[in-house]
A and B are shown apart, each in its own frame.
Chain A
């Protein structure tokens, strides 16, 4: 009886989200095994063992040299047939959900995505999963010979433990046609802070009013080593590129401080911003959802408040 965790990595670099899936697997009671795909991931076995994997199964194949949703999904499906685990877990990232969906389709099994609570039972499992990007939850039951589940990113904390695991080479047989969805080319991102990693984000909403009116937000962000973000309304108006969008269908941010300017705080935006450690809302409307949910607020016109903050920052840096 085992729970198998599908490990996410990029050409051998571990995705820390996988350690959250291992932590979740350990709460289920069965022995925890891990599955790595591709020889490049063999070196991860020590880390995986230190997070509770009693055995790390290593699948090797030329088609697993880089990520490919079909090749990965087929390899997971074959591992499930060979190892017969009670459940298979991965983290609910883009790749995690995609690979589990591929495996589920191949085995004609249900797959429950983005789960916060998993309660195993004799005839069915009870699960609480996220909807609407986390603003609503769903309690559901899962009935299946093998339970396929991803856990919501950040819902479980990675936990290290003492102990060494064994490794096992797992044979997989992949059809050459699956090369059709293996990554064919990559364009590496230029170095620098991104919306997802910035320590400070200055976000603008409909209240900013125009593309040009983002200049003071840009200036303040530059002054503090942060970046500018925006709401979906801003993107839809064509004021800023979608790459700046914070929200359910944009980027999820987690800065030390999010300065939300002229943003009402609709669900779509809030779920992308709620992981911020602190939120400062600048808004004329004291009743705005963003103001109500923020840690701090300045009530006033962002067009006057933002330049005043920038001036004050400059004044203090100069003195």
Chain B
């Protein structure tokens, strides 16, 4: 089977996120970058599906030239092909991003055949717009379910599981289909040395992204109001136990 996984390069923040002076971006001067967490799991899912069913996996991203790093990371754990839709400057809005990805998928499919499954992350860690996968699926006239924590391909159908407050929902989608994956579906593997070396040689195809600006435009980023709390130190080491249990009692948590 042919599997495409779409990822986004995002900063890997620690305890606080700082904003650049012009308010247009996260200050990444001291930050590393990573693949958005749900998508890391989508990449692993794509590799596992090809291991189980044969075929070929492809990773695609729309982002700056540096997103080459995230494409090669995916390749280092077993993805076969990589496609970069390069953009300059600030990130694209959701409608524009979706249109560009859908157009690129049509182009790739025109030469190499239809992707049986296109995987996205449930939402990106940074902008969290919750819609790229849904819009791309609609543009391609394919079924789509988000929030997926289990994938099983059986012939021409994919069985997908999603958690809800009540339990687990099961969906049966005919292929070709699109799924939004949530972290927890698997535990992504670490790249092997051999994988890392091989990923350096992967040819990253470039497709010029095309899409018109949509109706949602960022003005500026803002810091969320800091939760200010004066931490009460209950004590040091095991000697603090009585003070902790006093607190449990006060909060009505002692049975």
Give A residues with C-beta under 8 Å from B.
Answer: 10, 67, 69-70, 73, 92, 94, 97-98, 100-102, 104-106, 108-114, 126, 128, 130-144, 150, 180-189, 196, 199-200, 223-226, 232, 235-236, 238, 242-243, 245, 248-250, 256-257, 264-268, 270, 274, 278, 280-281, 289, 291-301, 304-305, 307-309, 311-313, 316-317
Contact = CB atoms under 8 A, between A and B. Distances in A.
Given A185-B170, A305-B237, A308-B238, A316 B245 contact: yes
Interface string B130-156: 110011011100011111000000000
Contact of B233 (A140, A200, A299): A299
A309 B241 contact: yes
A134 B237 CA distance: 33
Contact of A110 (B95, B144, B167, B248): B95
Interface in B157-173: 162, 164-173
B216 A110 contact: yes
B166 A101 contact: no
A251 to B, nearest CB: 10
B29 interface: no
Contacts of A199: 253
8 contacts: A94-B162, A110-B93, A110-B215, A131-B221, A136-B223, A187-B170, A280-B244, A296-B233
Interface stretch (B52-60, B68-76, B192-200, B224-232): B224-232
Contacts of A249: 37-38, 125, 182-184
Contact of B244 (A70, A186, A187, A298): A298
A186 B170 contact: yes
B251 A141 contact: no
A233 to B, nearest CB: 12
Given A295-B231, A298-B240, A267 B14 contact: yes
Given A136-B222, A297-B233, A113 B244 contact: no
Contacts of A308: 238-241
Interface string B106-136: 0000000000000000010111111100110
A224 B253 contact: yes
Given A130-B128, A136-B222, A305-B238, A266 B14 contact: yes
B254 A313 contact: yes
A181 B144 contact: yes
A126 B222 CA distance: 14
B95 A300 contact: no
B216 A112 contact: yes
A300 B244 CA distance: 13
Given A94-B147, A249-B37, A249-B183, A278 B251 contact: yes
B86 interface: no
Contact of A256 (B14, B128, B144, B251): B251
Contacts of B93: 110
Nearest to A149: B216
A130 to B, nearest CB: 7
